[in-house]
Amino acid sequence: MSEIAKKSLDITANIQNQQVQLSKSDIFGVLQNDRRRCVIEILREQGNQSVRFLSEEIARLESGEDDPKSTVRKSIYVSLLQTHIPKMESLGVINYNRENDFVELLPAARNFEIYMETVPKGDIPWSHFYVGLSALAVVGSVTIYSGLLEFVTSSQWMLFISGLFMVSSLVHMRYVRKL
């Protein structure tokens, strides 16, 4: 590998390993635009993508059509290249490789996760789930300690509730990583 190629790889590795802390103003500045939010979501779900792919996906979402008009796709492509990608790149959220036209999500994008957690229709937020699980633990504990449930020991109840919290936490962790 040539010396130039090694330096290029080192620079890319350094960019990727940087722990960038963004201000709330920067975060909300990125998230206030639908196209920038879409770029983050697409890259999180599907990995590195070309600007062309991003513009086609965003055009589908914005138009609601499977095959949006080429003028719509081109308009989005131009706005991504001229406005959105430079802004996100300057904040260290993405890296745009101009040579192969690929966009990559950088670790700084983790700053957006808490603001982008969406709750699909019919679901409940995780915080509500954990409050409900905690309420179940308290009610069950009071019931067992008062003697109303004689067939369950306090040790069994403790193991059951601990197991529920562990499984719930693992599912939540996996869900958040998919985001």
One domain, residues 106 and 20: yes
| CATH number of the domain bearing residue 76 | 1.10.10.10
One domain, residues 103 and 15: yes
One domain, residues 101 and 135: no
Q: Where among 82, 110, 138 does a domain terminate? A: 110
What tokens does 93 get? 């959220």
**93 DSSP assignment:** S
One domain, residues 166 and 100: no
What tokens does 133 get? 């699980």
pLDDT at 123: 74
pLDDT at 16: 47
Tens-binned pLDDT, residue by residue, of the chain (179 aa): 444 333 333 334 344 455 567 788 888 888 888 899 899 989 988 899 999 999 999 999 898 888 889 899 999 999 999 999 999 998 888 999 999 889 998 888 877 776 776 656 667 788 889 999 999 999 999 999 998 888 999 999 999 999 999 999 999 888 777 65
One domain, residues 87 and 16: yes
Structural domain containing residue 100: 3-110
Q: Contact 150/66 with Cβ under 8 angstroms?
A: no
